[in-house]
């Protein structure tokens, strides 16, 4: 699910608006807007998500068709709002619609976005909704994510770097979820694969464009720790602190589903040799 922090940062990037202007445009209190910018992982309430999402849809230009972006936002909304049974039923319907979409097997940007959303459906079945056949669902998620990424890379359209990073991160997350946290550094195949896709270079390039993206910096730090790359660990650790001063404290918890640096099992090498 796209965070409030990510949405407001992309709104600011697209418009140059101040926090005060974003507050005026959404109708949210300046204190709320300030907290979203200031506190990593701030979850807010449903009203905040709705108003920020509406402004985001209005002012942030996407390379994909508007109706597909709205569909992605609906998917986020369904996952946050509905119990698992109802969410699963909605995904069953959505899967049929996506697989019968006329653009799915074309070379268009919209085809990439359709495949991306199909990947999300199978990812959720693997790790969120079901308790069986995890590997099968995960493999299907990887197939669709990889088809989407291949399509993105084939586009002549420029400025798709951030989209490529986000899609590559979906693939990394899927592979990581198939291996227990804390044991990924011992997994030779994962380490070899991470090097082969040049993941750390991609994250570093994204941070050059979006220095505020502490989530990308943390993802880079985790992979650098798994690969036991001290230089890259130092780079991403500094990038996290530059994005937000809270990360100067290794015990800071950025959100309910993300442990602090001091407790993340995938950052063991970093803590021992670099921190």
Q: Of 42, 61, 80, which closes a domain?
A: 61
Tell me: do 67 and 166 sit in the same domain: yes
Each residue's pLDDT tens digit, 222-252: 999 999 999 999 999 999 999 999 999 999 9
Tell me: do 41 and 83 sit in the same domain: no
Tell me: do 95 and 189 sit in the same domain: no
| Alpha helix stretches (DSSP H) within 27-124 | 30-38, 46-59, 66-81, 84-99, 109-124
Residue 236, domain extent: 179-275
Contact in structure between 259 and 253 (CB atoms under 8 Å) = yes
- CATH number for position 43: 1.10.260
Q: Of 178, 207, 227, which closes a domain?
A: 178
Tell me: do 117 and 162 sit in the same domain: yes
pLDDT score at 157: 64
The number of domains in the chain is 3
10-residue mean pLDDT profile of the chain (275 residues): values are 88 96 96 93 89 92 90 89 95 96 94 97 95 93 97 82 94 96 92 95 94 96 96 97 93 88 95 84
Tell me: do 153 and 216 sit in the same domain: no
Tell me: do 151 and 201 sit in the same domain: no
Tell me: do 131 and 204 sit in the same domain: no
Tell me: do 100 and 157 sit in the same domain: yes
End-to-end CA distance of the chain: 30
Q: Of 162, 178, 194, which closes a domain?
A: 178
Q: d(Cα 213, Cα 192) in Å, to the nearest integer?
A: 26
Token match 């996952």: residue?
A: 79
Q: In a 10 Å sphere around its CB, with 0-12 CB exposed, 13-18 middle and 19+ buried, how is residue 256 labelled?
A: exposed
Tell me: do 70 and 170 sit in the same domain: yes
Instruction: Give the pTM.
Output: 0.92
């Amino acid at each position: 699910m796209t965070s409030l922090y990510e949405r407001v940062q992309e709104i600011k990037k697209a418009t140059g608006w101040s926090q005060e202007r974003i507050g005026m445009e959404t109708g949210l209190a300046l204190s709320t807007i300030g907290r979203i910018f200031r506190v990593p992982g701030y979850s807010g309430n449903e009203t905040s998500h709705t108003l920020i999402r509406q402004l985001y849809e209005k002012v942030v230009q996407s390379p994909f068709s508007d109706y597909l972006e709205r569909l992605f936002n609906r998917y986020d909304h369904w996952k946050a709002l509905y119990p698992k049974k109802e969410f699963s039923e909605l995904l069953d319907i959505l899967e049929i619609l996506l697989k019968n979409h006329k653009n799915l097997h074309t070379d268009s940007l919209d085809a990439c976005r359709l495949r991306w959303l199909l990947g999300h459906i199978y990812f959720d079945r693997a790790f969120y909704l079901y308790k069986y056949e995890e590997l099968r669902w995960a493999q299907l998620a990887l197939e669709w994510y990889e088809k989407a990424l291949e399509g993105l890379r084939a586009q002549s359209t420029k400025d798709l770097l951030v989209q490529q990073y986000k899609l590559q991160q979906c693939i990394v997350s899927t592979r990581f979820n198939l291996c227990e946290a804390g044991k990924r550094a011992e997994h030779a195949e994962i380490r070899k694969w991470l090097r082969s896709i040049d993941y750390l270079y991609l994250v570093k390039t994204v941070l050059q464009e979006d220095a505020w993206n502490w989530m990308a910096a943390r993802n880079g730090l985790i992979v650098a720790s798994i690969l036991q790359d001290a230089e890259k660990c130092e780079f991403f650790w500094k990038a996290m602190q530059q994005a937000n001063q809270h990360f100067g404290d290794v015990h800071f918890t950025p959100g309910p589903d993300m442990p602090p640096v001091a407790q993340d099992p995938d950052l063991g090498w970093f803590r021992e040799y670099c921190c």
